[in-house]
């Protein structure tokens, strides 16, 4: 799996920007109110956000070592296929196609449309609001798809502008909010009402699953390993730098949320950005922050369009997906068909109205395979094929694996229906793998197309 058609052109800055852009999406703007409704305590919620950030850093360290040893497009698809068995690699790609990238892409686009409609209510006045929001979401996906089909260099320049702007706007909101906004430090000592039975270990596990969904993307640079310059140095650094920046921004935003709004009023609210702005600066400022969040989600959409298609491209090149998806555009040197496939699926999801924040489903799916990839670090050390040694071995991968397993078990106990659907999604990939494996055995060139 040489992937020599893809060019190593990305330096540390765009690779780090991709991590930041992929991480900061709908999660941070939608989950804190839901978390507080379950947990009751703002301090406990902040503690879980810190724990989630530390786990994301542990995962970034693991993927830094894996990515430096196997700098190829596809992320954990490559790691699990090479270190264990192609079936495990295929299953992570199969899940990524639906729950890992297409569904978050659709959710981010619809989230962008919600905030755009909030900023410009005249867009939906006198029209069907759902149709207008779907049109905005599809336009965003289609526009950024065209950007990234034109090549990784051009796409990276657009991504850099979107990400730097997003980080500057979020940091500015935090600084201005604490400096000039109306708030009360006493909110940190208050509690919100919680439903009966909430607040235990199962609730904490489910909350961490939601938080890890918000942190998902810490491994973004691993998916474009074939296009990163000096990956043995650049890839680990981009993962750690990007995850560290996002951890600080997430803590700052959550501190601002609690400072601005009493926990009793914050609990259960999804559109936190609008509520916080209204409380701190009045209704007039709400439009500006709605645009800020829409801009931030635009960057997340862009990152998802870059990252996800590299997984399906790698699968196709190995003969475990449709051969046409493994084609590289002769002029722009990107997996254009893979990009179009994912964007098409996301648009179908937008039109089918599947944006009902299935955090547990996506969180469960996204928690399984990174944990399995971290197990691969031990296999990598055993074989001695590594270009970068993470600090903290073996404690870091053990913490990541142990905490990940605990979160999945507790999340399943708290929400067995959604978690079971996630497991069925994984299981449904097994017969699909068998079909492609059979076709691959009949094609002597499969796996050697590069």
Cα–Cα distances in Å, from 182 out to 167, 197, 258, 381? 23, 34, 12, 53
Which domains are present in the chain? 12-442 (1.20.1740.10)
Six token digits for residue 275: 């509520």
Q: What digits encode the pLDDT tens for the residues 274-286? A: 778 888 888 777 7
Cα–Cα distances in Å, from 333 out to 4, 437, 447? 10, 27, 19
Sequence-ordered list of residues with C-beta below 8 angstroms from that of 435, at least 6 positions apart, any chain: none
Q: Are 351 and 131 in contact (CB under 8 A)?
A: no
Indicate the helix (H) or strand (E) that contains 169: helix 152-180
CA nearest to 270, candidates 214, 216, 218, 215: 214
Question: Residue 394, preceding bond cis, omega within 30 degrees?
Answer: yes
pTM for the model stands at 0.81
Q: Are 11 and 234 in contact (CB under 8 A)?
A: yes
Give Dmax over CA atoms of the chain in angstroms: 68
Distance, in Å, from the CA atom of 142 to the CA atom of 362, rounded to the nearest integer, reads 23
Question: DSSP label at 83?
Answer: H
Contacts 24+ apart (CB under 8 A), 349-352: 349/102, 349/103, 349/106, 350/106, 350/109, 350/110, 350/134, 350/137, 350/138, 350/141, 351/134, 351/138
Indicate the helix (H) or strand (E) that contains 248: helix 231-260
Q: Are 126 and 132 in contact (CB under 8 A)?
A: no
Residues of the chain whose pLDDT is less than 70? 1-5, 193-199, 270-271, 353-360, 385-386, 443-450
How much is the pLDDT for 249? 94
Beta strand segments in 248-371, E: none
| Sign of torsion over alpha carbons 406, 396, 1, 16 | positive
Cα–Cα distances in Å, from 246 out to 50, 111, 383? 11, 19, 33
How much is the pLDDT for 358? 52
Q: What digits encode the pLDDT tens for the residues 70-125? A: 888 788 888 999 999 999 999 998 988 887 788 888 888 888 888 888 788 888 88
Q: Are 54 and 389 in contact (CB under 8 A)?
A: no
Sequence-ordered list of residues with C-beta below 8 angstroms from that of 312, at least 6 positions apart, any chain: 93, 96, 97, 321, 325, 335, 338, 341, 342
For tokens 């555009």, name the residue.
329
Distance, in Å, from the CA atom of 308 to the CA atom of 75, rounded to the nearest integer, reads 10
């Amino acid at each position: 799996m040489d992937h020599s058609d893809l060019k190593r052109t990305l330096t540390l800055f765009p690779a780090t920007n991709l991590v930041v852009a992929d991480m900061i999406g709908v999660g941070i703007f939608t989950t804190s109110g839901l978390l507080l409704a379950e947990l009751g305590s703002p301090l406990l919620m902040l503690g879980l956000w810190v724990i989630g950030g530390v786990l994301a850093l542990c995962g970034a360290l693991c993927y830094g070592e894996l990515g430096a040893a196997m700098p190829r497009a596809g992320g954990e698809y490559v790691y699990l296929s090479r270190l264990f068995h192609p079936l495990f690699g295929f299953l992570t790609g199969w899940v990524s196609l639906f729950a890992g990238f297409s569904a978050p892409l659709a959710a981010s686009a619809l989230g962008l449309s919600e905030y755009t409609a909030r900023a410009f209510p005249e867009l939906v006045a006198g029209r069907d609001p759902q149709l207008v929001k779907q049109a905005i979401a599809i336009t965003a996906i289609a526009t950024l798809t065209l950007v990234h089909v034109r090549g990784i260099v051009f796409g990276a320049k657009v991504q850099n502008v979107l990400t730097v702007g997003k980080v500057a706007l979020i940091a500015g909101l935090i600084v201005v909010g604490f400096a000039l906004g109306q708030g009360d430090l006493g909110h940190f000592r208050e509690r919100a009402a919680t439903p009966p039975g909430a607040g235990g270990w199962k609730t904490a596990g489910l909350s961490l699953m939601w938080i890890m969904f918000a942190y998902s993307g810490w491994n973004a640079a691993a998916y474009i390993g074939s296009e990163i310059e000096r990956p043995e140095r650049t890839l680990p650094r981009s993962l750690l730098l990007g995850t560290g920046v996002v951890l600080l921004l997430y803590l700052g935003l959550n501190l601002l949320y609690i400072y601005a709004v009493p926990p009793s009023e914050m609990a259960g609210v999804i559109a936190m950005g609008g509520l916080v702005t209204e409380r701190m600066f009045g209704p007039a400022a709400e439009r500006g922050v709605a645009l800020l969040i829409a801009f931030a989600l635009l960057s997340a959409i862009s990152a998802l369009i870059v990252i996800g298609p590299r997984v399906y491209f790698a699968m196709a090149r190995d003969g475990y997906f449709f051969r046409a998806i493994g084609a590289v555009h002769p002029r722009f040197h990107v997996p254009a068909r893979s990009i179009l496939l994912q964007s098409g699926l996301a648009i179908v999801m937008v039109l089918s109205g599947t944006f009902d924040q299935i955090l547990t489903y996506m969180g469960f799916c996204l928690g399984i395979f990174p944990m399995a990839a971290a197990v691969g670090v031990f296999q990598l050390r055993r074989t001695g094929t590594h270009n970068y040694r993470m600090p903290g071995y073996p404690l870091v991968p053990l913490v990541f694996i142990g905490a990940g397993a605990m979160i999945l078990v507790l999340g399943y106990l708290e929400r067995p229906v959604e978690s079971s659907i996630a497991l069925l999604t994984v299981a449904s990939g097994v017969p699909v793998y068998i079909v492609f494996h059979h076709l691959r055995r009949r094609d002597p060139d499969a796996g050697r197309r590069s």
